Amino acid sequence: MSMYELLTTCGHARRGRLTTPHGVVETPVFMPVGTQGTVKGLTPRQLTELDGGTQGPQIILGNTYHLMLRPGTETVSALGGLHRMAGWDRAILTDSGGYQVYSLKDISRITEEGVRFRSHIDGSYNDLGPESAIAIQEALGSDIMMAFDECPPAGDGIPRRKVMAAMERTHRWARRCIDARTREDNALFGIVQGGVDRDLRAMSAEAITDLPFDGFAIGGLSVGESRNRMWETAEFTAALLPESHPRYLMGVGTPEDLLACVGYGVDMFDCVMPTRNARNARVFTATGDLNLRNAKHTRDPGPIDPECGCYTCQNFSRGYLRHLDKAKEILFSTLTTFHNLYFYLNLMAAARRHIEAGDYYAWVADVMGRRGTGATPPAGPAGPPGPG
């Protein structure tokens, strides 16, 4: 039985629902990143207070690479699994660790068996491959596990044969990930690779969707290619994935990226941007993004975003936030993270409502226009959006 239910569509945009062992997830959905067993800066209680029409995120992401090294898989198990350890009783998706391992490329050795790498924490040698990536994710207690893949860099300078070789190995490893499963209560998603090459993406989509995965991810994007390239590839690839399964665009992205790719039929996203930018004083608003370190905010008694209903905007001024940042108070990160995650969750809640209402593309054009980033809104399948 599929974990995904497609409720309605507006053009290519899909309004759906995922069922996991830790609750239902309304899609399209943005998943906050909780790399080391915590969404940086917020307690689980604060996460559930984010609201934005959702009472907080229904799913967050954990990073297998980080958790296997610290505190270590056995420690997470001893502490009751990732949910119990982190005090989070909603759904968790874990990546396979592949992406992080490949970002250590100078100290990795890749064979058909898997990857040997050195820990960024203590320099110790560790191995990760399809079987161990599944075993670790099962031990963590992940609701949605990701297949272990090989992620080549994307971009114009990368030889096609390298991208193809990584893709083909990803396909072989995908099969081994499925065979390595020992639990039936959680889900496993396959990952389509192929860089920004349409032929390779088509080959990869065919190979991966041929396997009995519970959902399909578009990997290997947002790794250096241009925004246009990324959007084109996401649009092309999403259209190759089955209607019956959830579609997850990994590691993406800006508010514009999310709105565009929902318009291409993507259901799930994760990105460190709202949380990382928050800690660096960069905050999102309905009329464009702000840097709170700008001196003009020093005595500004207004909130980050007058249109925002979050706890931070309801209670604190730009001037106070700037003071907290200059004074290096950790409350700064908490309050800006609260706001940025609220912005993302609220945006996705609005996207779900506008898909249901049938005016998704017109709404996106309006949101993008007000934010003023110069992004071109996605055209609906019937051509460019009408007057609204």
Nearer to a second copy, 67 or 180 (CB): 67
C-beta of residue 214 within 8 angstroms of C-beta of residue 20: no
Taking each helix axis from N to C end, the angle separating 198-209 and 160-180, rounded to the nearest 10 degrees, works out to: 10
Decide if residue 40 touches a second copy (CB under 8 A): yes
Residue from the set 3, 86, 177, 258 that interacts with a second copy by CB under 8 A: 86
Range 90-149, binding a second copy (CB under 8 A): none
- In the complex, the smallest distance separating the C-beta of residue 349 from a second copy, rounded to whole angstroms, is 22
- In the complex, the smallest distance separating the C-beta of residue 285 from a second copy, rounded to whole angstroms, is 19
Structure tokens at 227: 């925004």
C-beta of residue 217 within 8 angstroms of C-beta of residue 189: yes
The burial class, CB within 10 Å (0-12 / 13-18 / 19+), for 272 is middle
Nearer to a second copy, 37 or 246 (CB): 37
From residue 308 to residue 347, the character string flagging contacts with a second copy as x (rule: CB under 8 A) and all else as - is ---x---xxx-xx-xxx-xx-xxx-xxx------------
Residue from the set 7, 78, 239, 379 that interacts with a second copy by CB under 8 A: 78
**Looking at 21-29, 36-44, 236-244, 340-348, which segment touches a second copy (CB under 8 A)?**
36-44
- In the complex, the smallest distance separating the C-beta of residue 331 from a second copy, rounded to whole angstroms, is 5
Report phi then psi at 29, rounded to 5.
-135, 145
Decide if residue 38 touches a second copy (CB under 8 A): yes
Q: Which residues are catalytic?
A: 95, 270
Decide if residue 299 touches a second copy (CB under 8 A): yes
- In the complex, the smallest distance separating the C-beta of residue 115 from a second copy, rounded to whole angstroms, is 22
Structure tokens at 194: 């192929």
- For residue 296, CA distances in Å to 196, 299, 312, 318, 323 come to 41, 8, 19, 10, 12
C-beta of residue 259 within 8 angstroms of C-beta of residue 347: yes
- In the complex, the smallest distance separating the C-beta of residue 6 from a second copy, rounded to whole angstroms, is 36
Sequence-distant (≥ 6) Cβ neighbours of residue 226 within 8 angstroms: none
- For residue 143, CA distances in Å to 17, 91, 117, 123, 140 come to 15, 6, 26, 30, 9
Under DSSP, is residue 373 helix (H, G, I), strand (E, B) or coil?
A: coil
Nearer to a second copy, 21 or 71 (CB): 71
Number of residues that bind a second copy (CB under 8 A): 41
Residue from the set 87, 224, 309, 358 that interacts with a second copy by CB under 8 A: 87
Tokens 């995650």 label which residue?
Answer: 341
Q: For 363, which DSSP code?
A: H
- In the complex, the smallest distance separating the C-beta of residue 244 from a second copy, rounded to whole angstroms, is 37
Residues lying near a second copy in the complex (CB under 8 A) are found at 36-38, 40-46, 66, 70-71, 74-75, 78-80, 85-87, 298-299, 301, 311, 315-317, 319-320, 322-324, 326-327, 329-331, 333-335
